[in-house]
Structure formats: C-alpha cells, structure tokens
Amino acid sequence: MIEELTKKLKNVCDEFAVSENYENIKELRFSNNSMDLFNNWEESYINVFASRNKKTMDILIKDYNNIDYYMEKIDKTLNIIPDNPSYYGINTEHYNYNSNEEDIEDIDDNDIYDLSRQLIDASLKNGSDKNAGLIYKNYAKTRIKTNYNDETYYNSGIEIVLRSFHGDYSGQEGLHYGIKSAKNIDPYKIGENAAKTALKGNNKINIDEGKYDILMSPYLLGTILTYNIGFLSYFDIDSGLSPFIDKLNEDIASKNVNLYDDPLNRNGMGFTPVDEEGTMTKKLDLINNGTLKNYMHSYSTAKKAGAKTTGNAGIIAPVPWQIHMEKGNKNVNDMIGSIDHGLYINNSWYTRFQDERTGTFSTVPRDGVFLIDHGEIRGTVSGIRISDSILNILKNITEVSNEEKYVKWWDEIHSSIMPSVKVENVNITKGF
C-alpha cells in the first residue's frame, strides 16, 4: 500500500512524509476485585504530510481502497491553502535504521490474566478493600517513508493502572513497560504500593491556602513535567507561547534538575527510534544541572532557528518522545522527614493552563494527599489545587530521590521516567 501511495504522491506534491501504522491492542479491565472486560482491537492507518513549495498539509487515511480520492484532495488543498512561512522542508539526510521484530519480548494473553489477579491479590493482602484498573498490551509496527528515507521499527509494551481503595481513600499506580522490561513486572510491589497509599488515608484535615513544601511522587511530577514539556518545542518558542523564550544556556531550574528526552530507552513504551520525517532519534539534553541546553527541533524548525534537528519531528511542531528526569541521591522517607510543615502528593489530574507565556497552571491532587507535620504524615487533605508556574516548580526543586518509576496514566502522564522530588514554596489554593 505505501509503495502505491508514495508513487502517486510524487505527482501531487514536492515533499512528503508518510507514516504507515499498525497496532494490536489488548485491554483487560477489572473492578471490585474481579476481571470484567477483555477487548482486542487492531488499527491500521496512514498519516501523510505533504508540501508544495511553502504550502503544507496533513491528512489521515484509513480507507485504503480509495487512494485516488485522497490524492485529489491533497492536490486541491495544496492549490488553495496559503503558504506556511515557517516551513523549510523535511530532512534530506539519509539514515539506515535496522529494526528487528525478534527483539520484542512478548507476554501472552494468559499472562495478562495472571498479572491482573496478582495485582488484586497483592493489594488485598496489604489491606485494601477493593481494586479497579486496566492492563493494556500493545504491539505496533511503524514504517516511515519520505522522499529521502524508508525505515521501519517495531514496538511493544504493557501499561498498568491499579487503583486501590480503603474506605473512602484511594491510592494509584500507573506504570509502563517497554520492549526490554515487560517480563520484569513486579505485580506484588505495584499492589503493595497502591494499597499502602490508600491505607495512609485517615484523619481528614483542612489546610489554609498558601505556600507549602511538597514531596511530589513520580506520578505528580510526571503530570507536571509532561504537560509542560511542550514549552521546550521550538514551535511553542517561535509562536510566543512558552515561558522559555530566549532562555537557552540560562539557569531556569535548580542545580538538582537534569532532564532529557530518552527515546532510545527500550524499558519504556516511549521508545521511538525514528521521528516523523525519518531522522534517527537520540538522547537529548534539555536541562543540565538547571541550565536550559536545547529546544526540540524538526529539520524545518532547526533551519529557521539556525540550529540542527534533534530528531523530534512533528515536522511543523516538534514533540518529545519519552521524558526522563535523572534520579538523585535522597531516600524518600528521609525526604518526608525533612519537611517541617508541608504536603505529600501522590497524583493529580485536570491540569489546565492559565497563561502559556508564563507557564502558569493548576492541577487537582488525588489518590493520596497528605499533610506532613514535623517530618511525619498526620492526616489526609482534600479540596485543594496546585496553582503555580513551571518556572517556580523547576527553580524550587531542592531534593531528588534515588528511586525512579516508569510512569504513564491516561492523558495525564505521557510515557516518562520520573523520581520523587521535594519542591519548596508551592502555591496551594482551595478548590472547595
């Protein structure tokens, strides 16, 4: 199919980048300590980026029997749309990525059922009342073909979400495992952690709005960083919608912050060896010891900025693949003990921006929100929001844990690798 498509594309556009995708997804859902749904679906689709001079467009193709219709649509669209002044072409350099499907470590369907049962049993054994969650098993094949490159890669992974309840309280774990780690899942540890968070819930405490030192778990940090990481895309910089404009080589975070894009790490589901225009990806330093080192670039944005592509196409809007904040040397229990009056927050959702130019956002804590008083957890807090900016969060990270998790959850946390961090003077407001 892709051969026929690209042959026809040469007649209607100057440059193209075609992504042919196949996915096989298996979903197991459980609630009230029992498995209640198993779904299996396949998806095949083709994304086409096409350009003619400075005109650009994208189109999604799912009907493979109607290619001529799409060619006519592409041709007509490129005739009438205005120029894209920010487009400078796709990468002409030739790459040779050699992928091997045999590298994938597979888990069969029976193992998924066993895994769900082990998660539930481990949580119950550690004191929870009931459990709910999801397990996704994903297999994907991607072929990227441009005027200059033709590359194929395979990916697979397991995503686990477990929410454990004890009375009115809950704890949640959301993790991802890639090609090289799917057989290293420890369901007992996952169930234990979710249950222990739920069991910490007691003695509801109301707190005042104001500034608090917060111990952020990998889930809360993952939410905040993956929601804000788009600000380091040159598309956001060039659009004027980022707090990091004109800050290259400046200290924008504490010295404890080392952040990079980690697309070649096969232990995570964010493994992406080739970007959307055929450029091979690489580990990319974003923040090093608090200093902003790079923006994310495609070939086109790099050309405009006088830089080099970083392998993050999105041709028009560069994107991250798998954000990784480097772990530190602090024990989590010691980090809790170092907080005189503050909060421990396990997770959050409904992250929304008030001003992209300043990075001001709010997010709603959930699944384990606790008051810390003189180094000990004293009770549970609800009805609060974190209302702050990414700049303040990054500058006030004073401690980083020596443990990290591969975190992923719904649309809240994209595939990433995060430690726990202590952040001072975080602004807390009351939601209700």
**How does pLDDT run across 407-428, given as a tens digit for each residue?**
999 999 999 999 999 999 999 9
Confidence of residue 404 (pLDDT cuts 50, 70, 90): very high
**432 has a pLDDT exceeding 60:** no
What pLDDT is stored for residue 179 in this prediction? 84
Query: Phi and psi at residue 90, in whole multiples of 5°?
Result: -105, 165
Residues 185 and 119 in one domain: yes
Query: What percentage of the chain exceeds 70 in pLDDT?
Result: 98
Residues 156 and 279 in one domain: no
**137 has a pLDDT exceeding 90:** yes
| Residues 354-398: tens digit of each pLDDT | 999 999 999 999 999 999 999 999 999 999 999 999 999 999 999
**210 has a pLDDT exceeding 80:** yes
What pLDDT is stored for residue 183 in this prediction? 82
> In terms of pLDDT, which residue wins out, 130 or 4?
130
| CB neighbour list of residue 333: distance below 8 Å, 6 or more residues apart | none
| CB neighbour list of residue 220: distance below 8 Å, 6 or more residues apart | 345, 346, 347, 348, 363, 365
| CB neighbour list of residue 144: distance below 8 Å, 6 or more residues apart | 17, 18, 19, 150, 151, 152, 274, 275, 276, 277, 278
Residue 65 DSSP one-character state:
G
What pLDDT is stored for residue 105 in this prediction? 65
Domain extent, residue 89, equals 2-197
What pLDDT is stored for residue 102 in this prediction? 61
What CATH number did the domain enclosing 65 receive? 3.30.2290.10
| Residues 35-67: tens digit of each pLDDT | 999 999 999 999 999 999 999 999 999 998 899
Residues 192 and 279 in one domain: no
**110 has a pLDDT exceeding 90:** no
What pLDDT is stored for residue 346 in this prediction? 98
Averaged pLDDT for residues 336-345: 97
**Structural domains in the chain (count):** 2
Residues 144 and 279 in one domain: no
Averaged pLDDT for residues 398-409: 98
Pick from 156, 172, 197: which residue ends a domain? 197
Residues 250 and 317 in one domain: yes
Residues 187 and 235 in one domain: no
Confidence of residue 182 (pLDDT cuts 50, 70, 90): confident
Pick from 168, 197, 226: which residue ends a domain? 197
